Amino acid sequence: MRDRLRRLWYRFVGVAGVNPISRWLHPPLYRWTGGAWLLGQSLGNLTILLTTTGRRSGRARTAALWAHPDGDRLVVVGSNGGSRHVPAWVLNLRANPAAGVQKRRERRTVHAREAAGEEYARLWELVNAAYPGYEAYLEWAHRTIPLVVLERT
């Protein structure tokens, strides 16, 4: 029973994170407050704004994501709440790895790359320690979930 409740909670968190209203409302509120309160941290995870360039439109696209510090770098997870589809921001970064990050009120430019091999395994442990729901998302997604490393430029 406890495992079922935990999985239900992970499903709720995943759906809330990819909900269109949340995706539309979170970035402007985050900018306005500088990432204060629940906008900048939820369930113990740091929230950032990642701005990419749309691979087809060429327009700036911003997503609010959990970021997991790894030294000076940030790691973001392309889980899309356990969806079978890779999130658009990952596809945008594959087309153009230059991006912008807002962490609270600090803004920086970053270069994105996907982790692979031993680095992927190490980072997967890091992100799962911060939020165990990623394991459930992996099971639901039926795909490899990208881990994207954001390095300051």
pLDDT tens-digit readout, 15-40? 566 666 676 677 888 888 888 765 56
pLDDT at site 18 = 60
Q: What is the pLDDT of residues 94-142, one digit of tens each?
A: 999 999 999 999 999 999 999 999 999 999 999 999 999 999 999 999 9
Between CA 107 and CA 134 the distance in angstroms is 27
Q: CB burial class (10 A; 0-12, 13-18, 19+) of residue 100?
A: middle
pLDDT at 45 over 80: yes
pLDDT at 49 over 80: yes
The percent of the chain in helix, strand and coil, each rounded to the nearest 5, is 45, 30, 25
* Count of CA atoms in the C-beta half-sphere (13 A) of 62: 17
pLDDT at site 52 = 98
52 SS3 class: strand
Q: What is the pLDDT of residues 93-105, one digit of tens each?
A: 999 999 999 999 9
pLDDT at site 5 = 72
Maximum Cα interatomic distance, the chain, rounded to a whole number of Å: 47
Task: Write down the pTM of the prediction.
Answer: 0.87
132, two tokens:
């165990």
pLDDT bin (cut points 50, 70, 90) of residue 9 is low
Report the mean per-residue pLDDT for the chain: 88
Query: Which domains, and CATH codes, for the chain?
Result: 2-152 (2.30.110.10)
- Percentage of the residues of the chain whose pLDDT score is greater than 90: 69
pLDDT at 6 over 80: no
